Structure 1
Amino acid sequence: MTTRRDAAASVTAVIPTTGRSELRRAVESVVLQTIPVTPLVILDVPSARADVERLLSGLTYDLVTTSGAIGGGAARNVGVLASRTRFVAFLDDDDEWLSNKIELQLAAMLPPGRMIVASRSWLVGRKRRLVPERLYDGSTAISSYLLDRSSLRLRKNFMQSSSLLLTKDLAEEIGWEVGLKRHQDWDFLIRAQAAGVNIVMLGTPLVLVHQSSEGSISRSTDWQSSESWLSSIDAGSAPSRRSRADFVASVILRGAVSNREWHQALRLTGEALRGPCHIAAIAPAIAAVRGAWR
């Protein structure tokens, strides 16, 4: 199904979904932008099409259905190819945009070029927190910035898919890695910078990132996929030794401990400490040890 397309829109919002109820909130936030934006919903569960159409009743949007279970990265690629605008932005189906997001980001991108414009966000859970505390300024590799865990506060460094705006041509060139279960947005940004793309972050928070949505894999214990992804980063784009160690400690080691895979946890602890990782990066693994013995 395709609904009315606003001819004045220069931006498409690519929204991959499995049909979660939060999708309506996400699409509404696109419809309410201060300039015209085309919401493009990429449904990765074909059998849910009728349910999604009922959920989005009354809203103006476009809908593309995949062959099914192709994953978030591939669904975003489908959306980029299906878009007919000069620019594309990405929105996870459980997040939402503030009404002036696209207008402010487009203003920051003029003239358009090899640039990704991101923004600060509000992290919404039991309370609302501004992220990141430290804006990305391009002085370090994006991989070092994203994987750094030098503070107990998770909000020190942050960049996520729902804040990104770029040209359609550039999005096609970079592409989202198909098959990645985790770290899709980080992978996209790291490969973009390796391709010579300038990554700019606005200081204004323009996205609401909801933390506790059903089906989230952000706290997954599939540590093997995280370790495999870390190993796949090209040497020229690799994070600093310390940021790499931070990621090993805070993500990979935590997963191994949560699964009670103690032999692997011992190996990963040694790897993290040799980095050396920041002390704060060990905290998630310590918390996981406590949880494993409850």
Structure 2
Amino acid sequence: MITIVIPYFQRQAGVLRRALGSIAVQRECHLPLHVVIVDDTSPVAASAELEGFELPNATIEVVLQPNGGPGSTRNAGLNRLAPATRYVAFLDSDDEWSDDHLARAAIALDSGFDFYLADHYQIDQTVGAFSRAGRIRPAGHPPIAGATGLHAYLSDMFDQILNGNVIGTSTVVYRPEGFSDLRFRSDLTSAGEDYLFWMSLSLAGARIAFSNQIETTCGRGVNVFAGARWASDEFFVRIRNEIKFRKMVEELFDTSDNQRRQLRKGVKELRRSFDMSILQRLRQRKKLPSALIREHWNLDSLSFATIPSAAARAVFVRP
């Protein structure tokens, strides 16, 4: 069985049905499918979306939980895995799969791999993420028999994620056997919780396969990362989570000197974004989100030390 975990929080009707529609058209997958939809107290309830809807090729289970963010929601799905589950697939509720995604993932995982990912279209893009980022070159990884475009990943995925992540969450299918205790960080609500999961899976010895075929199209539903407007409250949450993620990587993993430099460089860049967001809110005479500012101070007080220099730069570069 493949258990498909869908974290669900949407404000627009019809989004979930499109994602489920891409499950309905899956072909040539030899394993039965079970869908676990975790309703994260969504404004448009999953039950309303499912009214009168059936999947011809899968069973559906809905779990309702208090709002906890994407990590908590995916964990709720992982906690509901049936004993018959051989593979777990993730599908965000605003994304859609190609009709052969699960069949191709099953071919790769049946060949002895533990962790599968694929090329994908990011939001509003018509060029695949692999090509856009230029971070992964299929020719450098040996092919896997059974379908064209499948490859055994030979590089360092931990380093790959730090320097140029190529993993789209909705493309991931993995084998839970041997990794059953692994969970997403629920304290990272808008950035980094998925990266930490992939890093942990990789360092735990998961054998990785990938497809250079486009197998997922990312949609524009409620996206707590891409939807955070500059200097908005959501943006402050995202910046805090991104800084926290980088600090956690240093705390949790044995990183190289080069990786630590990369992480600290990222923190400095995020501090600049935080400072400029503060200054923009002040210029616009908009109230600062005091609770979020306090949380940021508790995480990274050095972000505030650079506000004067950021203000000085802003003055000198103004026309």
TM-score range, shorter chain: 0.7 to 0.9
2:16/2:93 contact within 8 Å kept: yes
Offset, 1:164: 0.7
Q: Give the alignment of 1:178-197 within 5 angstroms.
A: 178-181=186-189, 182-197=191-206
In 1, Cα distance between the equivalents of 2:263 and 2:224?
A: 24
Alpha-carbon distance in structure 1 between the residues aligned to 2:17 and 2:64: 19
Matched, 1:198 2:194: no
Inter-partner Cα distance in structure 1 for 2:181 and 2:97: 25
Q: Which runs of 5+ in 1 are unaligned?
A: 1-9, 150-156, 271-284
CA distance in 2, matches of 1:90, 1:77: 11
Structural RMSD (CA): 3.4
> CA–CA distance in 2 between the matches of 1:63 and 1:132?
33
Written as runs of structure 1 = structure 2, the 5 A alignment for 1:1-294 is 10-20=1-11, 21=13, 22-34=15-27, 35=29, 36-45=32-41, 51-56=45-50, 57-60=52-55, 61-84=59-82, 85-112=85-112, 115-125=114-124, 127-133=125-131, 134-135=135-136, 140-148=155-163, 157-170=165-178, 172-181=180-189, 182-210=191-219, 212-218=220-226, 219=228, 220-222=235-237, 223-233=239-249, 234-237=252-255, 240-245=259-264, 247-248=266-267, 251=270, 253-260=272-279, 264=303, 267=306
Q: What letter matches 2:106 in structure 1?
A: L
Residue number in structure 2 paired with 1:281:
none
How far did 1:176 drift?
1.4
2: CA distance, partners of 1:118 / 1:250: 29
Q: Say which SS state the counterpart of residue 13 (structure 1) adopts.
A: strand
Q: Deviations over 1:231-273 (max 9, x none)?
A: 11124256724532553355554344233399837759x9xxx
* Partners of 2:171 and 2:215 within 8 A in 1: yes
| CA shift for structure 1 position 191 | 1.2
Q: Secondary structure at the match of 1:169?
A: coil
Cα contact 1:43–1:64 (8 A) shared by 2: yes
Distance in 2 between residues matched to 1:244 and 1:141, nearest whole Å: 16
Instruction: Give the Cα–Cα distance (whole angstroms) in 2 for the partners of residues 245 and 32 of structure 1.
Output: 44
Q: Tell me by how many angstroms 1:201 deviates.
A: 2.2
Q: Which has the larger radius of gyration?
A: 2
Going from structure 1 to structure 2, the CA distance change for 1:225 and 1:192 (only over 3 Å counts) comes to same
- Percent identical pairs in the alignment equals 19
1:236 match: secondary structure: coil
Taking structure 1 as the reference length, the TM-score comes to 0.73
Local SS of the residue matching 2:78: helix
Deviation at 1:172, TM superposition (A): 2.5
Shift of 1:129: 2.1
Deviations 1:113-162 (A, max 9, x none): 5x21111111231x42211223276565434322326xxxxxxx521211
Q: State the partner residue of 1:154.
A: none
Q: Count how many residue pairs are aligned between Structure 1 and Structure 2.
A: 254
1: CA distance between counterparts of 2:43 and 2:121? 33
The 1:161/1:46 distance shift into structure 2, 3 A limit, reads closer
Task: Compare 115-124 and 213-222 and name the one that shifted more.
Answer: 213-222
Q: Are residues 100 and 196 of structure 1, via their aligned partners in 2, closer, same or farther at CA, if it must alter by over 3 Å?
A: same
Query: What is the CA-CA distance between 1:40 and the residue it aligns to?
Result: 1.7
SS in 1 for 2:62: strand
Tell me the distance in 2 between the aligned counterparts of 1:250 and 1:130: 26
Return closer, same or farther for 1:237/1:28 CA change in 2, 3 Å cut-off.
farther
Alpha carbons of structure 1 residues 198 and 247: separation in structure 2 relative to 1, 3 Å: farther
Partner of 2:294 in structure 1?
none
SS of aligned partner of 2:247: helix
Describe the shift of the 1:169–1:124 C-alpha distance in structure 2 as closer, same or farther (beyond 3 A). same
Judge conservation of contact 2:8–2:42 (CA < 8 Å) in 1: no
* Structure 1 residue 28 displacement after superposition: 1.2
